[in-house]
Structures are given as structure tokens and as C-alpha cells.
Amino acid sequence: MSAFVPAARVERMRESPSTAAAQRVRELRASGREILDLTVGEPDFDTPDHVKAAAVAAMDSGLTKYTAVNGIPALRAAVATRMSDRTGIAFDDREITVGGGAKQVIFLALMATVEQGSEVIVASPYWVSYPDIVTVHGGTPIVVDCPESDRFLLTAAKLDAAITPATKWVILNGPSNPTGAIYDAAELAALAAVLERHPHVSVLCDEIYDEIVFTDAPSASLLSVAPHLRDQIFVVNGVSKSYAMTGWRLGYGVGNPGLIAAINKLQSQSSSCPSSISQAAAAAAIAGDQSFVAESIARYRARRDIIFELLSEVEGLTPVLPQGAFYLFVGCAGLLGKRTPDGRLLETDQDAVLYLLEHASVATIQGSAYGAPSYLRISYATSEDILRAAAAEIAKAVAALS
């Protein structure tokens, strides 16, 4: 049998580090190891009952056929109402697209616009898939370091310095995966002032965690801060995180009608349309009872406070209190340079992550996967019991270093 040779675009991509970490956990569990898994960016709650009921009703009523490329009317209406409530801006069908998850919407938006020579500004720490989605389409990710001293957020000065005539997009993610950081209205206004001077640059606002915030006020949106830039702004969101619907694979995008038409054209030749049943469920989630969201946020906040407090007590670890999402970004520079009980030197954050996996049976993800070496990421979208047990095992493993 001849060897398979993938296309060059596949060779340019890395495997998703978060997917690889989750697979490693599954392999270890299959071998009999008990692993405390803090890697998965997925709510551990079940999808709300009224959302599941909407899916059953859709099947019973025969909503099991192809839909329009940009979704069923009920879903588009729900998205338009939610965006209007959030930003004060009205959107029509020409400005809304739906896809098989927010990730697919991002992928298609970049496919529609990025080519050889295109540059996309990506703030680091970043969600692991941003640079690779840019690369697979022939573009160049311009990674801008955003240190903890800047709350891990892109500043106006750094954005301005990174823009060139080749810049196609800047990607903003808030609340952030992996840090949980949130841009406030003043920070967004400063970025908007830069973007106003560079009308050739579009902004992809990944707002998938916008409901999961622990601040007194809702998270700000660039659209509401700078509505005059609406043709440059593409907002991506979905139902996976806020409504515990990761497996339903339903996301949406709102933006410039020309971009939306291009995305819809690409989707018509790839998946045709998202799942009709998932669309009905998503419409019920977005337009229906929101008590599940409020209840889950309260539980995430309690979990955040528990794991932050426990890891703050571990010498060598410096967790950063997140404002949203369900991740804790933990500085581990204090562990580097130390030796494990069997004499191995911890030189990198990857070494630290592997040590915790091997000696504490706790799975985390290295910060370098997010463009931020000397950190590790923990997901607290899991039970308080697991978080307490994991923190105790981490503390014991760290204490064993010399």
C-alpha cells in the first residue's frame, strides 16, 4: 500500500492541543488510571430540559430535512433579538449566518477572506485554534504578546503597532479562553479608535463566553461601544458554553452582509446547513427561559473561588483570578528549575504539566499551547469535589519537588 501524503495545508496545521490533552486522558483512563481531568472546556451540566424538549418536538413535527443555508427563521429571529438586546443594533437576515458550532463559523469566515499574504493579528494568550485556522488558509498569524501586566489583553498601542497594509483581521476574544479576562468599555473604545484609522482591518469578536461573567455588569461588546464600525466587526457566538450544548454543534455569526454571503456560499458547498434539530434546540435556548444560565454562572463562580483559593496556597503557583469563562490561568514559573523525586529537571511548562499528570494524576494544559509559556490552564467546568481533590494532589506533588 502506498503511503498517504496529505495536502500541504494539513501539514501546516498542528493538532489541537486541547483535543490532544483530552484524548490522552481517555487513553490513561482506558488503561486503568484514575485521572482528575481539568482540561476540558465543556460544561459538566446537562442541556436544559426545555431545550431538549424543543429538539424532540422538532423531530416529531418533521423538522428533519435540509434547511436554508443560514438557518431556520426561528433561529435567525432569536439571534437577531439577542444581538439587539445586547448591542442596541438591529440585524436582518442578510447579516446573520449559522453553522455547525462557533468554530466552524470562524473557520468559514477566515476561509472567505484570508489568502496567501494576508495577516491576522492574534493576541497571546490565545485560543489554541486561532493561529492554525489562519495558517491553513495561507495567512500569517501575527501573534502579539499580551502579558499579565496588561491583564492578558490587547492594548490600543500594541494593536496600532501590529497593523500593516496586509492586515486582514484582528481577533478579540472576551471573556477569554484561556485567561478569563474581559475587555471593559474603555479598553474597547481605545481599540475602536485605532480601527477607525484602518478601515481595511476587520475585527472578529469571539464572544462565545459572553454570558459567563462574574463582574457586576455584563461584558461589553465592541459593537455597542463602536456601532459606527459595524461593517468592520464580525461577532461570533453560539450555544455550546452558555447552555451546555457543546455536542449540538450550533454557532452563529453576525456582520457585514458581503461577508455573510461569502460564508453562506462556502457552507452551501461544504455542510449545506447545520443540523435542523440542533437549530430548533438553539432557538429555544436563546429565546427561552434563561434561568439555567444564571444558575450555572453562580456555580461557576463558586468553583472559581474554590480552585483559585486552593492553588493560591501552593508555593510556586500563581493563579490569576478570572473575570469570566470557566478557566483558571496559573503561573507555574515558580516550579521551573526544580527537580522531581526521580531527579528530572522541570524546564518548561510542558514538563510541569506532564509531572502533574504522572505524579498527581491531574490533567491540565500547558500555557505554551496558548502562546504563553510558564503558565498552565485549568478548567473548572467540573464538580467542586473534583476541584478540591485535584488541588490537594497538585499541592502534594509540588511539595515533593526539590
C-beta separation of 72 from 276 below 8 A = yes
C-beta separation of 321 from 301 below 8 A = no
Q: CATH topology of 8-46+292-399 equal to that of 49-287?
A: no
Residues contacting residue 273 through CB under 8 Å, at least 6 positions apart: 66, 67, 68, 69, 71, 267
Joined together, the cell numbers standing for residue 156 give: 490600543
pLDDT at 178: 98
So where are the chain's domains?
A: 8-46+292-399, 49-287
Residue 369's alpha-carbon distances to 31, 43, 178, 336, 350, in angstroms, are 26, 21, 10, 17, 9
| Class of the domain covering 8-46+292-399 | alpha beta
Q: What are phi and psi for residue 394, nearest 5 degrees? A: -60, -45
pLDDT at 28: 78
Q: Distance between CA atoms of 95 and 102, rounded to whole angstroms?
A: 16
Domain 49-287 in CATH 3.40.50.300? The answer is no
pLDDT at 263: 98
pLDDT at 76: 98
Residue 145's alpha-carbon distances to 150, 153, 180, 348, 367, in angstroms, are 10, 9, 16, 18, 13
pLDDT at 22: 75
pLDDT at 40: 87
pLDDT mean by block of 10 residues, the chain; 402 residues: 85 75 79 89 96 98 97 98 97 97 98 98 97 97 98 98 98 98 98 98 98 94 97 98 98 98 98 97 98 98 98 98 98 98 96 94 96 97 98 98 97
pLDDT at 15: 76
pLDDT at 13: 79
